[in-house]
Amino acid sequence: MADVIIDDLVSAALDRREGLWGPYWTSPAIGYVVYNDSIGIAVQKTTDSGATWTDQDAANEPSSSNTRSMSAWFDQETKDDSGTIIHIAWVRTTDNDVEYVQFDTATDTFGTIRTVDLLTIGNTSQDSDVAITKAKSGRVYVAARGNFAADTENTDHSMRSSSDGFATNNESEASPYSSDEEMILLLYGIDADQDDIVAVVADTFNQHLEFWKFDASANTWGAPTAIDTAFEMSGPIMRANKRFYDATTRHSDEHILLVYWNARDSATGDFKSVDITPATPTITGKTDLDTGSDSFFPSILINQQNDDVYVAYAGSDANDEDLFADILVYFKLSTDGMGVWGTEQAYGDDLDDYRITHIGHTVGNSGGRMMPAFFNHDLADILVNDGNDIEIAAAGEAPAAAIPSPILDFGLVKAPGRMVAY
């Protein structure tokens, strides 16, 4: 099969604006990709396992060309949540307004656009940050920072929460941002207070990666727990290429699984994996996906039915491709919690300057696919590959193909949510 274009005219700054999320699957055939297009924010849907994609509710999609950074969270990323909403937050470029909208996969419609906060600096830079999650209680949190360079007072940031999608309830929370110029990835918490949340934080001032916990009742962030303090990347490089790390929660034990690079385009850079036990918290280093790696742009997916972990990224282990110029998209599979990684598998078909991958974070009992979406920078396209993906059948069901068929050229066949040798 071949690479399939989802949209051929998206934001040229999509990689800097964190503008690609999903696919989020409601069945092995039906999935959604959320992204920053050339006008605003759009959602595309497939009903044929990624072969074709159609724009959803275009008349009501957020259409401001001022969209800067964006973030998304699918209800089912939160354990035991069977909801159908994709929560989307973004920061506007010209006035730094933080906005939010819901997209309902049950009706394929956008809700009302809500204003979360009004930040204070008017500046057109792309160098901002936004993160979103849904706690177990159902409360939605949005953390956002406006322009890093213009924020000389370190006040152009906030975190707000809401129990009703910011329709009437909008509460101010302790901001996770400071003069350390953090980038934030929010996740739901597992403590007794179901309003609590956690975060994986890139401290770009000190060049650290850290784990933080938010106590909702006290409205405080606890002391950071170090994940990695030996980054080679400078703060400006970390902020320019935000998708150097990704994390999601394994529902079976609610550990957070994290993958990241500690350097960019460096002979001494390593592609790391980490298991975080949030309660303690405890940071457990797992097996590197690669060492001395010139690849980049990771994303992670957990098959919650059997705890298989898939990681997509751009650039080969062989270091024979040119980052930011001519690279392919690849993936690896671990069936033992990142203790052992399988052989690198090619996913995309054509070399080009890909700069983001996203793989949707979670597939539950309704099934889905291992089908990373990726961004072609010079052509401003978003693509998937229809053929090198992997079906994850709904719980208790066989995969669509009764007889497994070969994929790639690596002696592998499709099985229910697994790749096995034949």
Report how many domains make up the chain: 1
| Maximum alpha-carbon separation in the chain | 62
Cα 377 to Cα 32, 106, 260, 320, distances in angstroms: 21, 32, 21, 20
- Mention every residue, 6+ apart, whose C-beta is less than 8 A from residue 253: none
CA 223, 228, 233, 239 dihedral sign is: negative
Is a pLDDT exceeding 90 seen at residue 322? no
In this prediction, residue 164 carries a pLDDT of 98
Mean pLDDT in the chain? 87
Average of pLDDT values for 381-388? 94
pLDDT category of residue 252 using cuts at 50, 70 and 90: very high
Please choose, from the candidates 405, 286, 385, 279, the residue with its C-alpha nearest in 3D space to the C-alpha of residue 330: 385
Residue with tokens 């539950």: 364
DSSP letter (8 states) at residue 417: T
DSSP letter for 394, please.
Answer: P
> Quick one: pLDDT at residue 422?
27
- What pLDDT does 394 receive? 96
Kindly give the residue spans of alpha helices, DSSP state H, lying in 308-352: none
Helix (H/G/I), strand (E/B), else coil: 120: coil
Which residue segment(s) compose the domain that 268 sits in? 2-421
* Residue 271 contacts residue 331 (beta carbons within 8 Å): no
Query: Which residues, including other chains, have CB under 8 Å from residue 223's CB and lie 6 or more apart?
Result: none
Residue 258 is predicted with a pLDDT of 98
Least confident of 102-106, 129-133, 160-164, 236-240: 236-240
The pLDDT value given to residue 409 = 36
The whole model's pTM is what?
A: 0.92
Express each pLDDT in 226-238 by its tens digit.
Answer: 999 988 887 787 8
- For residue 260, the tally of other CB atoms under 10 A from its CB is 23
Q: How confident is the model at residue 55 (pLDDT cuts 50, 70, 90)?
A: very high
Q: Take residue 120 and report the two structure tokens written for it.
A: 């204070």
Q: Which H or E element spans position 239?
A: helix 235-240
Q: 66 falls in which pLDDT band (50, 70, 90)?
A: low
CA distances from 272 to 1, 60, 266, 347 (A): 31, 40, 14, 20
The model's pLDDT over 115-148, given as tens digits with 9 standing for 90+, comes to 999 886 655 545 788 999 999 999 999 999 887 6
Pairing of the two strands 296-303 and 361-363: parallel
Which residue has tokens 């550990």? Answer: 255
Query: Hey, how many other C-beta atoms are within 10 angstroms of the C-beta on 59?
Result: 7
Q: Which residues pair with 415 in a beta bridge?
A: 418
Return the number of other C-beta atoms located less than 10 Å from residue 282's C-beta: 12
C-alpha distance from residue 325 to each of 127, 350, 379 (Å): 22, 12, 12
pLDDT over 50 at 63, yes or no: yes
405 confidence band (pLDDT: 50, 70, 90): very low
- Tell me: pLDDT of 282 over 90: yes
Going by pLDDT thresholds of 50, 70 and 90, the confidence category of residue 9 is confident
Q: Rounded to the nearest 5°, which phi and psi values hold at 365?
A: -70, -20
Q: What is the pLDDT of residue 402?
A: 37
| Lowest-confidence segment of 8-17, 182-191, 376-385, 396-405 by average pLDDT | 396-405
Report how far residue 163's alpha carbon sits from residue 414's, in angstroms, rounded to the nearest whole number. 41
Specify the higher pLDDT residue, 393 or 270. Answer: 393
Q: Check if the beta carbon of residue 375 is closer than 8 Å to that of residue 321.
A: no
Say which CATH number the domain at 101 has.
2.120.10.10
Q: Is the pLDDT of residue 112 over 90?
A: yes
